[in-house]
Structure 1
Amino acid sequence: MIMEDNDDYFSSFDESWILALNDDEDDGVSGETLSASDTDKSDIDFSDFEENVDGDIVSDSNTDEAIDPMKAAMRSKMWTYNPRDDIEFEKGMLFTNVDAFRSALKDYVIQKGFVLVRRKNERTRCTAKCGIEGCQWRIHASLVGDTTTFMIKSYHAKHTCVMSKKNIEATSDWIAKKLVSVLKDYPEMTSKGIVAEMLKFGVNPIKMQVYRARKKAFEEIESSHGASYAKLPKYAELVRNHSPGSICKIHYDLPNLIMKEPRFLRIFISFKAQKDGFQAGCRPFIGFDGCHLKGPFGGVLLTAVALDGNNSLFPLAFAVAESENKDT
């Protein structure tokens, strides 16, 4: 990630800037307590995690650090994700934004094995403590000035409770994030392999968690069927623009004007090269066939084929429809 430069912000050695870093250090623990389920929504977006794992700062020039030592100090304290190392927090540690801090905090809680209670979980500040009554562990982080950078303002690292490796922070969303890079290389990984991969983090997921996490990880890698159907109009326009003479028609269901988006029914495609090939070298015989689609939305794939000079099948057109009947 590239942190925005603000010359007015970094070029001054005014001590008021240093005081501003800790203006909310002793923020207290007042306010309504947020449970883990209330805050788990911040982990749904997989793209946030991908963008936040890199904490590098790019300087404007090679002499920036010599001109402004404060930039060099901030660079040395910027947290970077390393899956091979255990996470350790310290006061003054910096994060690229609030999502990077939340991801690191979740990984830390799962790594150490204790219940986390979030006192504040806002875009500008986060305060959390150990959920065991009487335990002194507590962390507070908030924005640095008017930037998006997050800093740990106060941190009490000592636990006075008995920690357990089983906690509610290891959700299917968190497991899916860890599986994305693994399933890209090993898409045929079985459930036992996923469990073995999670045991590296000290997590032993149940069967339903493994199923949901695997599904979410593949949706992140390959996108979903619904998203693919939504791209069909763009595909049809590309076919018409780049293959003149081709036919690509989409039929939608528009029962009333209240619906915000039309519902896909069927699509028909016949490329110009298929028509030219049939007229130039195929026998005057056309056959029709169809097969059922096993995706979540069902439907059938209909095809029209001919025979070429070698008695091989030559496709003429294909369509995806809701069923095989006279209308389709």
Structure 2
Amino acid sequence: MAQSVPNGLFVMVELNYQGVFNRNRFSYTSGVKTIFNDVEFSSMTYSEFVTFCERFMHEECRKYYYCEPDMSFMEGLNPEYSSFIFDAYGTDGVISVYVDHIGVGVDGWHDDEDNDDDEHDPCIDGENEDNIDELRNVAFEFNEDVVHMNRTSNDPLLRQDFLLRCSKGACTFRLWASWMSDEENFQIKSLKAYHNCARNFKFGSLVTYAWIGSHYTKEIVESQKISVRKLRLKVMAKFGIQVSMGQCRRAKKYALKLVEGNLVEHYGKLWSYGHEILRTNPGSTVKLDMEDGPDGKKYFSKFYCCFQGVKQGWIEGCRRVIGLDGCFLKGVCKGELLCAIGRDANDKIYTIAWAVVNVENKQNWK
């Protein structure tokens, strides 16, 4: 049988309202707290959740945020309702919800913070996204580490021997050269090429969030809740490069986008996908439901599919038994995958139909 939500029908939700988001301290102040432990949120759509909260508070609100478990208030705020349901029924503690009554736009505060980080980071000169291929076959020069003399055509020093040394006093790098009047160029007489000093890695705009994301795509996808600070330490340990918190935060988003692609574009193809199934598999069943978001846009709710060939194969060659099963989707897009399965003549699992929903409940099973 299908798995039920982890902690039963009820979870503990702390609703924070009549307060304001404080940008300076990044907190929610002057609010009222109420804990609900007898409400079945899993059966509510987003619009039903909004109606429930507004009736309780007796006032209108602009947006809701919840704080993801095991994350700080600054990094854990998330406005996605489907993620809230998934995390609420996946934790044993209290999950906090914060009401934005005036529409302050907390979503943009992270970007502003990232810009501030970059402005004060001495190791970052720019944030332009360069082509990663440009990093290949690049000869990095450390001109700031070498003291050299001014060379012009009228400089009398060009006719003498001179020494080129490292700016770090204890470094052993030395180069002696002499001016060759016949050939009108310098000839290296002696060279100690080894540097024993620490070089200053200032790559500027070469080290972008895209470069970081491309190198750590596998780690980020396998551990999507990796903290920004931990990712920053990984970059420092592996490459010896200091990057900003803002770069690492954008690198996580970039890496997930590389794997998942543009989610808006992908979900926009569901209608075409459904029509193509019906065209190429006459008799199949496809159902796609949408729901209205608080911004007036349409959002994905659930998708159901049953191929005619699979349905007919179950009728003609399988036992008259149907089992129901489901599992959580742990990718970028949260939700649950529900399946109707049977047993074939070889006593193997035979998938009859499947559906993707935001949460498992009686209404979605119908």
Tell me the TM-score normalized by structure 1.
0.44
Bigger radius of gyration? 2
Bigger relative contact order, structure 1 or 2 (CA pairs below 8 A, ≥6 apart): 2
